[in-house]
Structure 1
Amino acid sequence: MAALRAGLIGLGSMGRHHARVLRQLEGVELVAVADAVGDSHGVAGDLAVGRDIDHLIAAGIDMAVVAVPTALHERVGLALAAAGVHVMVEKPIAENSTAGLRLAEAFESAGLVGAVGHIERFNPALQEMRRRIEDGQLGETYQISTQRQGPFPGRIADVGVIKDLASHDIDLTSWVSQSDYVSVAAQTAHRSGRPHEDMVAATGILENGVITSHLVNWLSPMKVRTTTVTGERGALVADTASADLSFYANGTFLTEWESLTPFRGVTEGDIVRYALAKREPLLVEHETFRDAVLGRENRVVTMRQGLRTLQVAEAALESARTGATVRIGQAAPTR
């Protein structure tokens, strides 16, 4: 079978990694790249660098990765949908949910694969966490909390920390728990002089009753990437920067007699750190997109799911603006 012809638009900080992975992806050939400001990272190799999306379409591509600024996602994505090209667009899906809906509908009506690059779903620690939760290791799940903090990335200029960083946590929380957000409440801060928020503390509740909390900022001198899921039998803790997963067991074992007394809390039990195969999440994400294009197993983050994540992010921004808890619209996808 001939290799899928792939294009990449956007050769910046994220685009350069997409270029590297596309070149090593079995069954795919990177045949065209484009960026309005050129190839600042020198990743094009022997490929001519086009200026816009027409350059990719003219190359006769089957699939494309869109890594341009968020404000351009809709225009670029719609052009590719009209040309019959399968697309994976970097997160967030679009600048706002109205644009995201137009993108999702365009790919659905064209019968094309439309995916969103929520890469944390492909982190081995989170994939193993989801499997263990699904297998019942924690019993009933009570809470999911995340921390995603670190220095400001100079590449981000068009969105704040909620749509950029917190969207990772929104998506992974829904995915790990297999339940959508019902409502969200958030507080934000602007401490660095940029037009968008650079800190957020958000809480939420999922359809399955799990409560969530997210601490996200661009103002921490140390990089923190943790997800903790607490349940009746203990807690699973993932460090997504190192792809480590640990289990902290609830050490309280009630005897028949003690079960007649009021619940007194939990105690520390065994702690286990799991040995995991740690494949690069970006490579796994690309393999998943390729397989969906080929009609094999489709495990991509769909545009509908990406839209839902953006709607939760927008609800968090609205909550921060108004000081009220905001309920999420009822266009929930299956995770």
Structure 2
Amino acid sequence: MNYAVVGTGYWGSNHVRVGAELRDAGEIDELVVCDVDEARAAEMAAEFDAEYVTDVGALPGRVDAATVATPSPTHHGVGTDLLSSGVDIMVEKPLTLDAQNAWDLVETAERYGRTLGVGHIFRHHPLVTDLKRRIDAGEFGEIRYLWTNRFALREPRRGAGVLYSVAVHDVDLYGYLLDAWPDNIGCRLDSFVRDDIDETASLSLGYGETTGVISASWQVPVFGKSRELVVVGSERAARIDYLENEHYETFSLDPETGAEEGTETITVEPVEPLKAEVVDFLDATKSARHPKADGRVGAAAVELLEVATRADATGRRLSTSRTEGNGATVRRCSQP
């Protein structure tokens, strides 16, 4: 199998590294780097002993699969070109910046019989994988509450704000852990540094009796980065530090009082989430199965981001109902 990485920015360069490791391990045959910046493409190709091109149109017929790690506004166009030319693709999150284009990519992949994956990397985090297994096995009882923080102190990105760049991880992950679609969403977006880019997002998602809270910001002072997930059930709770990939803490709870009865450190086999994600995608292309995060997963996440954006604009909590087609219908809730 020949594999390409399209886009060699900060995250794309990590994909190139993983691609080189998989090539060296015999998992793929050839690695091709593609970037419109020829100097950058040549630099990455030289570092990882790969070939390079500057035109995505040179990839069909040369590679079987590709990761698209270009800026988010280009995902739809680049993805459409590759899928319609017979290349399986994994697109970095968010799949696109609007739901219509996201579902269009899903339909394009289905029309041409191609595999479409989306880079919802935390589905592949080893601690999340273990937590999901335990939740599904009933060890936590009824899930009551989820909370995430993703904080950093940095200049806001250009092109997409913190909602689409960062909070998207947890909008997807909550549904994955609960195997549920939210009933309603409340959202507040703050844009003080750049008028057109939200640097802080505060979301609350309702899943029946379960509440999920997401706090994401590029304007919170922490040492480096802070990435935490807390899940509270009727019988057990857990805290995950996403910057750790081998250990996490669980807490036994008194089902009557909610008081802590004991703690346990869970140890799992450490796995690099990005490599696990790419391997899953490539295996899916070879076996004609859906990757763990396929196009429909990515499009559903974009739908929910649109609902969150609308909730912020209206200042109201909005309810959602899933449809069989390509959308979530949105109506205004009675609560403010």
Per the TM superposition, whether the score is higher than 0.5 is: yes
Amino acid at match of 2:281: F
The equivalent residue for 1:144 is 146
Pairwise CA distance, 1:151: 2.5
SS in 2 for 1:57: coil
Say yes or no: does 1:178 pair with 2:179.
yes
The equivalent residue for 2:38 is 38
The equivalent residue for 2:57 is 54
SS in 2 for 1:221: coil
For residue 304 of structure 1, the aligned residue among 290, 296, 309 is 296
Give the whole-Å Cα distance in 1 for the aligned partners of 2:143 and 2:318: 23
Give the whole-Å Cα distance in 1 for the aligned partners of 2:144 and 2:193: 35
SS in 2 for 1:220: coil
SS in 2 for 1:219: coil
Give the whole-Å Cα distance in 2 for the aligned partners of 1:96 and 1:151: 27
Give the whole-Å Cα distance in 1 for the aligned partners of 2:262 and 2:186: 34
For residue 282 of structure 1, the aligned residue among 265, 274, 284 is 274
The equivalent residue for 1:318 is 310
Amino acid at match of 1:151: L
Classify 1:135/1:324 alpha carbon distance in 2 versus 1 (closer, same or farther; 3 Å). Answer: same
The equivalent residue for 1:224 is 226
Pairwise CA distance, 1:153: 6.1
Classify 1:302/1:332 alpha carbon distance in 2 versus 1 (closer, same or farther; 3 Å). Answer: farther
Give the whole-Å Cα distance in 2 for the aligned partners of 1:153 and 1:63: 34
Q: Contact 2:33–2:44 (CA<8 Å) still a contact in 1? A: no
Say yes or no: does 1:14 pair with 2:11.
yes
Say yes or no: does 1:28 pair with 2:28.
yes
Give the TM-score, by structure 1 length: 0.89
Q: Contact 1:104–1:114 (CA<8 Å) still a contact in 2? A: yes
Give the whole-Å Cα distance in 1 for the aligned partners of 2:323 and 2:111: 17
Classify 1:216/1:332 alpha carbon distance in 2 versus 1 (closer, same or farther; 3 Å). Answer: farther
Give the whole-Å Cα distance in 2 for the aligned partners of 1:309 and 1:39: 35
The equivalent residue for 1:256 is none
Give CA-to-partner distance per residue, 1:47-98, whole Å, 9 cap, x none: 453222112225x211010000011000000001111111000000012111
Give CA-to-partner distance per residue, 1:132-167, whole Å, 9 cap, x none: 10111111111111111112367x311110001000
Q: Contact 1:33–1:44 (CA<8 Å) still a contact in 2? A: yes
Pairwise CA distance, 1:297: 5.8
Say yes or no: does 1:245 pair with 2:254.
no
The equivalent residue for 1:110 is 112
Give the TM-score, by structure 2 length: 0.89
Classify 1:11/1:30 alpha carbon distance in 2 versus 1 (closer, same or farther; 3 Å). Answer: farther
Amino acid at match of 2:147: S
Give the whole-Å Cα distance in 2 for the aligned partners of 1:297 and 1:54: 26
SS in 2 for 1:145: strand
Give CA-to-partner distance per residue, 1:170-209, whole Å, 9 cap, x none: 1111111111222210111112235211001110112x54
Give CA-to-partner distance per residue, 1:260-298, whole Å, 9 cap, x none: xxx6x3212111111111110011001101110111664
Give the whole-Å Cα distance in 2 for the aligned partners of 1:66 and 1:307: 16
RMSD: 1.9
Amino acid at match of 1:195: D
The equivalent residue for 1:158 is 159
Q: Contact 2:140–2:237 (CA<8 Å) still a contact in 1? A: yes
SS in 2 for 1:28: coil
Give the whole-Å Cα distance in 1 for the aligned partners of 2:64 and 2:201: 39
Give the whole-Å Cα distance in 1 for the aligned partners of 2:12 and 2:311: 32
- Report runs of 4+ in structure 1 exceeding 6 Å deviation: none
Give the whole-Å Cα distance in 2 for the aligned partners of 1:186 and 1:138: 27
Classify 1:302/1:209 alpha carbon distance in 2 versus 1 (closer, same or farther; 3 Å). Answer: farther
SS in 2 for 1:318: helix
Question: Any stretches of 5+ residues in structure 2 without a counterpart?
Answer: 326-336
Q: Which segment is superposed worse, 75-84 or 184-193?
A: 184-193
